[in-house]
Amino acid sequence: VLAWLAVAAMVVNIASGLTGKFLVQRSQRWLNQARTDLHDAGCSDKTIEERLFWDSMAADLMRQWRKIHLPIALAFAVLATAHIVTIFLFWGWR
């Protein structure tokens, strides 16, 4: 059972990591592009910040993803370590 728990934690960890990294990068690129487009359109800095306020809040929220990903990674590390330790403890048993 321990091995399957470690595998499940690994799959969740990988999915969380890849999805979070993709979404953070995408939101940052979109926000930078929107800021550049508004600047090129001649908007003032204050207007740009007002128009992109909610978008920047969403991007900041996406950066908080690591607070969720870190405990998932820790759970995987604990389960994988426990699995490896139990293998060595019961190595000679049949």
pLDDT in tens, 66-81: 899 999 999 999 999 9
Retrieve residue 51's tokens. Answer: 């128009």
Can you give the pLDDT of all 94 residues of the chain as single tens digits? 888 998 999 999 999 999 999 999 999 999 999 999 999 999 999 999 999 999 999 888 888 888 999 999 999 999 999 999 998 998 887 6
> What span, in angstroms and rounded, lies between the C-alpha atoms of 7 and 13?
10
Retrieve residue 17's tokens. Answer: 């990591």
> CA nearest 32: which of 62, 55, 54?
55
Neighbours of 89 (CB within 10 A): 9
The predicted structure's pLDDT at residue 94: 67
